[in-house]
């Protein structure tokens, strides 16, 4: 019997906001690692997740990078997200382009508007790493619409593999993982076998709280909130964790929205956030939330740095 080879490399998950990148990452890792939200742009930092699996008898390690979606537009935050995405595309061994097949614009090549199309060109055009295309949300697309979409994307000849998936339901993910794993270079694994993420638990806790903020008031508070965990204290004697986090908003009026009438909103956010963090950590959690007005946190580079977005 031939000795098992090892493969390893970085797979950047690229795509427009809301394509389902974070959902895919969470499903593949079997963990709620990333904030998922129906509002675009809830993922602000690159996050790495490690998946070990066998492919064709080889022991493969895929290091997934969840990147903020390709975005153009004014403001430091958007610019920052754009740079992160391009940096991820440049560094990776395999690029995984995720498109929302339920969106008629993304379903077929050629109908993408100028902005998104240009961003995709930038992402896929000059690079040498192989690209796998995943058409996501097929649970929301009727077969007669899906088949021509697959054919049209296949005919572009830009992709090593094309896999229809539903990140939400888990359909097609095994095939997708295998397709990515086969394209990884041969070599030693990059992380110990039991590594799932490079992110500290306190970062994940902040993501889970932010997910609740967006879930519960995304319409009223678009892009204007950041969550920073200020204290993350394990109490081994009690077997629990005490977390204190600050929800930063830009204006006094937004603070009122987050706090809600008689503190109802912030209480609901805290309850749901605490439950999600407790599930992740597997122990009881005490979550203390505060709301703070930090003017213009999203528009200046200094503000971004203070919020830990670097």
Q: Nearest-CA neighbor of 198 among 83, 46, 310?
A: 46
Give the nearer residue to ligand GDP in terms of CB position, either 61 or 106. Answer: 106
The yes or no reply on residue 139 touching ligand GDP (CB under 6 A) is yes
Q: Residue 166 binds which entry of Mg ion, ligand GDP, none, with Cβ cut-offs from 5 to 8 Å by kind?
A: ligand GDP
Q: What is the CA radius of gyration of the chain?
A: 20
Taking a C-beta distance cutoff of 8 angstroms, is the pair 52, 69 a contact? no
Sequence-separated contacts (24+) of 138-146 with Cβ below 8 Å: 138/101, 138/164, 138/165, 138/166, 138/171, 138/172, 139/166, 139/168, 139/169, 139/171, 140/101, 140/102, 141/101, 141/102, 141/107, 145/107, 146/101
The yes or no reply on residue 184 touching ligand GDP (CB under 6 A) is no
Binding mask 150-179 for ligand GDP (x = CB under 6 A): ----------------xxx-----------
The yes or no reply on residue 45 touching Mg ion (CB under 5 A) is no
Exactly one of 26, 27, 43, 124 binds Mg ion (CB under 5 A); that residue is 43
Give the nearer residue to Mg ion in terms of CB position, either 43 or 85. Answer: 43
Q: Residue 17 binds which entry of Mg ion, ligand GDP, none, with Cβ cut-offs from 5 to 8 Å by kind?
A: ligand GDP
| Residue 166, C-beta contacts closer than 8 angstroms, at least 6 positions apart | 136, 137, 138, 139, 172
Give the nearer residue to ligand GDP in terms of CB position, either 21 or 199. Answer: 21
The yes or no reply on residue 18 touching ligand GDP (CB under 6 A) is yes
Exactly one of 61, 62, 65, 69 binds ligand GDP (CB under 6 A); that residue is 69
Give the Å distances, CA to CA, from 180 to 138, 163, 169, 254: 19, 10, 19, 43
- Which residues are near ligand GDP by CB under 6 A? 15, 17-23, 36-38, 40, 42-43, 69, 136-137, 139-140, 166-168
- Which residues are near Mg ion by CB under 5 A? 21-22, 43
């Amino acid at each position: 019997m031939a000795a098992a080879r090892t493969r390893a490399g970085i797979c950047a998950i690229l795509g427009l906001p809301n394509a389902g990148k974070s959902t895919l990452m969470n499903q593949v890792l079997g963990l709620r690692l990333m904030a998922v939200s129906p509002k675009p742009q809830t993922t602000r930092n690159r996050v790495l997740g490690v998946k070990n699996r066998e492919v064709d008898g080889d022991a493969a390690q895929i290091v997934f990078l969840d990147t903020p979606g390709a975005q153009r537009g004014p403001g430091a935050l958007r610019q920052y997200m754009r740079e992160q995405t391009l940096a991820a595309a440049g560094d990776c061994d395999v690029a995984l382009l995720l498109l929302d097949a339920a969106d008629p614009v993304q379903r077929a090549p050629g109908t993408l508007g100028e902005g998104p199309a240009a961003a995709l060109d930038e992402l896929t055009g000059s690079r040498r790493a192989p690209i796998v295309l995943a058409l996501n949300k097929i649970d929301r697309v009727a077969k007669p619409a899906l088949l021509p979409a697959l054919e049209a994307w296949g005919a572009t000849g830009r992709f090593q593999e094309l896999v229809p998936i539903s990140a939400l339901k888990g359909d097609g993910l095994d095939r997708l993982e295998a397709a990515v794993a086969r394209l990884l270079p041969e070599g030693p694994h990059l992380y110990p076998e039991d590594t799932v993420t490079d992110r500290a638990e306190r970062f994940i806790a902040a993501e889970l709280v932010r997910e609740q903020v967006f879930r519960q008031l995304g319409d009223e508070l678009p892009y204007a909130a950041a969550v920073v965990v200020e204290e993350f204290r394990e109490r081994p004697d009690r077997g629990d964790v005490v977390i204190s986090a600050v929800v930063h908003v830009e204006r006094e009026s937004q603070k009122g929205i987050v706090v809600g009438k008689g503190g109802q909103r912030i209480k609901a956010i805290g309850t749901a956030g605490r439950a999600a963090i407790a599930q992740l950590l597997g122990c009881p959690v005490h979550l203390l939330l505060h709301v703070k007005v930090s003017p213009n946190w999203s528009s200046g580079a200094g503000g971004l740095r203070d919020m830990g977005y670097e």
